[in-house]
Amino acid sequence: MNEHEPPSREAGSVGSILGNRVQRVEDPRMLTIGGTYVEDVPVDAAWVHFVRSEYAHGRILSYDVDDAKKVPGVLGVFTGEDLDLPPFPHVQPILKTGSERPLIAKGTVRFVGEPVVAIVAIDRHTAVDAGAMVYVDIEPLPAVVDLDDALSDATLVHPPLGTNTYATFTSERQADFADCEVVLDLRVENQRINGSPIEPRSGLAYWEPGPEGDRLVHYSACQGAHPTRDILAKLYDLPPSRVRAVVPDVGGGFGVKSRTIGEELTLGWLSKKVGQPVRYTETRTESMQALPQGRGQRVDVKIGGTRDGRITAYQIDVLQDAGAYPLMGAYLPMMTQRMAPGVYDIPNCGFRGVSVATNKISVTAYRGAGRPEAALAIERAIDYYAAEVGVDPAEIRRRNFIPKFLEPYTTGIGTVYDVGDYGEAMRRVLEAADYPALRAAQAEQRAKGSSVLTGIGIAVYVEITSAAAPTEYGAVHLLGDGRMRVLTGATPYGQGHVTTWKMIIADRLGVSMDDVDVVYGDTDEVPSGGLTVGSRSVQVAGSSLVIAAGKLADAARERAANLLEAAVEDVVLDPDSGTFHVAGSSTPAVGWADVARCDGDSLIGISDFKAAQPTYPFGAHVAVVDVDTETGKVTVQRVIAVDDAGTLLNPLIVDGQIHGGIGQGVAQALLEWMQYDDDGNPVTSNFADYSVISAAELPSFELVHMETPTWVNPLGAKGAGESGTIGSIPAVLNAVVDALAPLGVRHLDGPATPQRVWNAIELARH
């Protein structure tokens, strides 16, 4: 036990609230009063509209903004030439100087939708109308759209770089296939995905007087207030104390809204220019064009082994579309590399990766961020190999799993996993699915020659969580009436953080959840914090609160000892009653309110817990689909999932996260695809063309719980926010290919739309 941990029970034990299906406390407000989003913040503000490039690549020759300036109600019109802010700071240290993104294009445009002029007006409609009067003369340049064209450097997105290659990644060794009896090559495409949050990007900025000078206040619909504050402070050359960042309720993030980026960062500058607050919310079309996207990765797989089904070599080579300016997407091959061999014992494993620039909006982290790409590659390769050697897909996996381990395990690519029991995860999911019965029914159907074919897909995965930010701030204050005030650096946007943090404090300190207030998302209230990304919150922020609660209990124990006239070392906290008493005797006892009323400084426990390493959730999914061979339509009949996220603090919330993840995974497998024409124009620029999944396309998911606690943090918890996506994508695509196998189809890339499925069937027939 950590020295600062108060007494606690195992999750789900008698007396502990942890491990129970507790209803989310956030929901009543959302379902009655409604949320408070950036647009709901009651500040009288002017409206900002951005005129955007209609070319994917071009040279700006001139601007004509005179007519726009004359529109009644227009407060200002500004081009990139007017803006004197530096380019957008990169997420990581700059890959190559010269690839920085200007906040408003200057000299060159590099993707359709890049802002070229900012208009500030008294309201939205006036700003948009004035934007229609702006003319920007752009000389078109050849657009880099195809990944092979990008790699060739025939046309450069950033000429000063002399190349379109942003970064390369290479493992220490490459796979050796010399002794393999079977060697197979497979190309796996991960199409670009639009995050499509219900609430698009939204911002509000204004300046207020402060003791050090005017202070910038910025509200943003993003995934972390403190990183946004730090970006703004750097951009505006201000000390952090002169920037306040606030993140109110957020209508979805999924990684693509991780940081406040791009044109939204100009709001403070524009506010200063017009002398009043300004706000901006992008339209859905703007969001489809200019919100950073996900995936965009091509993987060339080589797998080798024996004829009896033992995999002995595995190599993947990744080509990553990073887009016009390098964000997190330029680093995604690094995440794919770490998870390359998945759950399999393949010491002979290699990786090469290249990130390239294209004339499309940047790629960033999107639910899974490099891990779904790794899982899809290995799981499609396993099925491809199983078909070649004539072994059932479940059996081929069983023969190659890493054996159960509860101590650190180093994979063939060099990644150190924490705990894993992959065979048990697959056993549970196959049992829940009744796999033998599914195969028997499939065989009977095929014998009848039906035009509707059933496919059964298996995927067993492992992923990495809390990889980038192992530290988080947490504090617990004891208030004068005995209530608890919790400060956390984690920013929720639908995950149920408030419920979880209340549960942790209730469990550790013995107070009612109703007596715990949670504060987050405001740099004036919380001194530090990170991004809510990478499925890190419970294991890092939650662990910080566990330790902070322990420190508070230690401090309170001293006061309780004085009240009880006992030695401090004899006093214990009873987490069931929330009272302090002498060990061995429950009376007399004093409660938190008694301790709070004592004279002295207010009591607080503070922690910046840092995890020793990331954690590695794992699981197994089975998908059952029907494919109509006459139309190509795929119908998902069942998804059965085991997702092991370690100790579950609230299974109800975890189930919700898994549901959402599976939904987004099925969407990538069957529907969603951000497409561009040869000139770099997005051809799926609204929800009429871009098929966002709905309840109509999804069955009720069948979830099977499994808990393998990790030793990495005091809660034993691992991340659960992205696992459903990582397992469901390969499971569904494997099911589609399995259905089409009798027709000679060996592989199909997502999305498995009716047209693509029908084309694959026709190609196989002819």
Task: Output the average pLDDT for the chain.
Answer: 95
Residue range 710-730, pLDDT digits in tens: 999 999 999 999 999 999 999
Task: Report the C-alpha gap between 188 and 641 in whole angstroms.
Answer: 23
What's the confidence (pLDDT) of residue 3? 44
The H or E element that residue 148 is part of is helix 147-152
**pLDDT of 93 over the 60 cut:** no
Indicate if the pLDDT at residue 2 is higher than 60.
Answer: no
- Global pTM reads 0.96
Tell me if domain 27-35+471-610 and domain 39-141+200-250+257-290 are identical in fold: no
Compute the distance between CA of residue 116 and CA of residue 138 in angstroms, rounded to an integer: 10
- For residue 389 the two structure tokens come to 């050697």
Q: Are β-strands 579-582 and 589-591 bridged in parallel, bridged antiparallel, or unpaired?
A: antiparallel
Instruction: Report the pLDDT value the prediction gives residue 152, as an integer from 0 to 100.
Output: 97
Helix and strand numbers (H, E) in the chain are 18, 28
Q: Which residue has the tokens 């699915």?
A: 433
Start-to-end CA distance of the chain, whole Å, equals 66
Summarised one tens digit per residue, pLDDT across range 361-417 is 999 999 999 999 999 999 999 999 999 999 999 999 999 999 999 999 999 999 999
Q: Do the Cβ atoms of 490 and 496 come closer than 8 Å? A: no
- What single-letter amino acid sits at 606? I
CB-based burial, 476-502: b 16+ in 10 Å, e otherwise: bbbeeebbbbbbbbbbbbbbbbbbbbb
pLDDT attached to residue 13: 58
534 and 369 Cβ atoms separated by less than 8 Å: yes
pLDDT of residue 6: 59
Report the percentage of the chain scoring pLDDT > 90.
94
Placement of tokens 């508070």 in the chain? 552
CB 677 within 8 A of CB 683: yes
Separation of CA 70 from chain center: 44
| Strands across the sheet containing 108-109 | 108-109, 58-64, 135-140
Q: Which residue has the tokens 């829940």?
A: 432
Beta bridge partners of 476: 486, 605
pLDDT tens digit string along 190-216? 999 999 999 999 999 999 999 999 999
Q: Which residue has the tokens 């990765």?
A: 297
Work out the pLDDT band at 1, boundaries 50, 70, 90: very low
Residue 103 backbone dihedrals phi, psi, to 5 degrees? -70, -35
Dist CA 579 CA 557 (whole Å): 10
| Cis ω for the linkage preceding 393 (within 30 of 0) | no
Please determine, for residue 503, whether its predicted confidence score (pLDDT) is greater than 80.
yes
Residues 6+ apart with CB under 8 A from 187: 298, 299, 300, 301
Residue-wise pLDDT tens digits, 317-348: 999 999 999 999 999 999 999 999 999 999 99
Whether the predicted pLDDT of 512 surpasses 90 = yes
Q: What type of residue sits at position 85?
A: L
How far apart, in whole angstroms, are the C-alpha atoms of residue 613 and residue 355? 26
Which pLDDT score is estimated for 98?
A: 83
Q: What is the mean pLDDT of residues 356-361?
A: 98
CA distance 545 to 225: 19
pLDDT at 490 over 90: yes
Task: Report pLDDT digits (tens) over 154-197.
Answer: 999 999 999 999 999 999 999 999 999 999 999 999 999 999 99
Residue 11 above 90 pLDDT? no
pLDDT confidence of 10, banded at 50, 70, 90? low
> Is 733 a residue whose pLDDT tops 60?
yes
**Nearest residue to 161 (alpha-carbon basis) of 329, 360, 356, 322:** 356
Contact 231, 327 (CB under 8 A): no
What is the widest separation between alpha-carbon atoms in the chain? Answer: 90
Strands 294-305 and 579-582: unpaired
Every domain of the chain and the residues it spans: 27-35+471-610, 39-141+200-250+257-290, 294-466+614-765
**516-519 and 484-488 strand pairing:** parallel
Beta bridge partners of 417: 409
Q: Is 263 helix (H, G, I), strand (E, B) or coil?
A: helix
Q: Which residues pair with 609 in a beta bridge?
A: 472
Instruction: Please state, in angstroms and as integers, the Cα–Cα distance from residue 72 to each residue in 76, 123, 130, 267, 389, following that order.
Output: 11, 11, 9, 21, 73
Distances (CA, A) of 77 to 47, 67, 81, 275, 524: 12, 10, 11, 14, 32
Question: Can you give the three-state secondary structure of 646-673, one letter per residue?
Answer: ECCCCHHHHHHHHHHHHHHHHHHHHCCC
**Residues 108/112/115/121 CA torsion (nearest 10 deg):** 140
| Mean pLDDT value across residues 227-240 | 95
Q: Tokens 């082994």 — which residue?
A: 305
Q: Reduced to 3 states, what is the DSSP secondary structure of residue 595?
A: helix
Strands 46-52 and 278-281: parallel
**What class is the 294-466+614-765 domain?**
alpha beta
pLDDT tens string 236-262? 999 999 999 999 999 999 999 998 889
C-alpha 383/C-alpha 737 separation (Å) is 9
Q: Which fold has domain 27-35+471-610?
A: Aldehyde Oxidoreductase; domain 4 (3.30.365)
CATH, range 39-141+200-250+257-290: 3.90.1170.50
Q: What is the pLDDT of residues 412-465, one digit of tens each?
A: 999 999 999 999 999 999 999 999 999 999 999 999 999 999 999 999 999 999
How big is the chain by its Cα radius of gyration, in Å?
A: 27
pLDDT in tens, 464-488: 999 988 899 999 999 999 999 999 9
